[in-house]
Structure 1
Amino acid sequence: MRTISTPIHRLFSLSSLLFFLFPFFSLPGLHAQVKIYATGESHQINGICLGCGVVNANGAIGINEADYSILYTGLSVLGSVEQILSFPHPLSAGKVQISIGTGGQHLSIRLLGGIWVESMLGNTPNGDLKLINASLLTLWQDSSRAVLPFVTSKKYDRIRISLAGGLAGLNSTLYIYYAYQLPMNCAVYPPHPLYYFPFDDNPNDVLKGLEVVSDKPIVYDSGICGRALSTPRNRRDSFASNVVDPPLLSSPKTISFWARLDTAQNPDDPDETVPYVVIRAFHLRILLTNQVRIYLYESSQTILEGDVGEPTTFNHYVIAYDKDHCYFYLNGRGPAIATLEDVDYLNFPDITMSLHNAELDDLVIYDSLLTENDIRAIWCSYGKDPSCPQQITPARRDTVKTRSAEQPFIIYPNPTTGQCNIKGETPVEGAYIEVRDLANRVVFQHWLQSKNFVLPSSLPGGIYYLTLRTKDYRIFRQKLVLTR
Structure 2
Amino acid sequence: MEQTLIFPSVKTYSKVVIGIGGNQAGLSVQLLGGVSVQTYNGNIANNDFKPISNEILKVGAADPSRGTIEFTPAKPYDRVLLRVGTGININGGLRVYYAYQLDRVYASSENHLALCPGCTVQNPQNAVGSNEIDFSKLIQPLSEIDGVPVSQSLQFPTIKTATKLVIGVSSDGKPIDQVIDKEVNIGTTNPNNSNGETISGGLKIDPQNPYKGTIEFMTSLPYNGVIFIMKRSRYYTNELKIHYAYQENVYQPVTVPSAKVMKTVSAEKVLTLFPNPTTGQITLEGNIDFTDAHIFINNTFGKEVFRSKFRSKTIDLPAALPGGVYMLTVQTKDKETYTHKIILTR
- Whose Rg is larger? 1
Range class of TM-score, shorter chain: 0.3 to 0.5
TM-score, normalised relative to structure 2: 0.46
Higher strand share: 2
